[in-house]
C-alpha cells in the first residue's frame, strides 16, 4: 500500500499504527492525521530513536498496512 492510500484511510490506519507503536497516544495520531513526516517525528520522539530508524519503521508499516 502506498502512503497516499494510507493517508486517505487514516482512520483505519490509525488503529494499526496504535498497535505497532503502543507509545503513541490517540492525540499523537490525531496530530499526525495521515502525514508521513509527522508520523516519523512522533515515532522518533516517543521511542528516542534516530530519524533513520523511525523512517525504516514507517516504511515497514507502509508496506504491511492492510487498511
Identify the burial level of 6 via C-beta atoms within 10 angstroms of its C-beta, where 0-12 means exposed, 13-18 middle and 19 or more buried: buried
Residue 25 DSSP code: -
**Sign for the pseudo-dihedral over CA of 43, 49, 52, 56:** negative
pLDDT at 67: 81
Rounded CA separation 5/22 (Å): 22
pLDDT at 32: 97
pLDDT band per the 50, 70, 90 thresholds, residue 1: confident
* Region 8-37 average pLDDT: 96
pLDDT at 66: 86
**pLDDT surpassing 90 at residue 58:** yes
More confident call, 39 vs 65: 39
Quote the pTM value: 0.92
Amino acid at each position: 500500500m502506498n502512503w497516499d492510500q494510507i493517508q486517505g484511510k487514516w482512520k483505519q490506519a490509525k488503529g494499526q499504527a496504535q498497535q505497532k507503536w503502543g507509545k503513541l497516544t490517540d492525540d499523537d495520531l490525531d496530530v499526525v492525521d495521515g502525514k508521513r513526516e509527522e508520523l516519523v517525528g512522533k515515532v522518533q520522539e516517543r521511542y528516542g530513536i534516530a530519524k533513520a530508524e523511525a523512517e525504516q519503521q514507517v516504511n515497514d508499516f507502509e508496506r504491511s498496512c492492510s487498511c
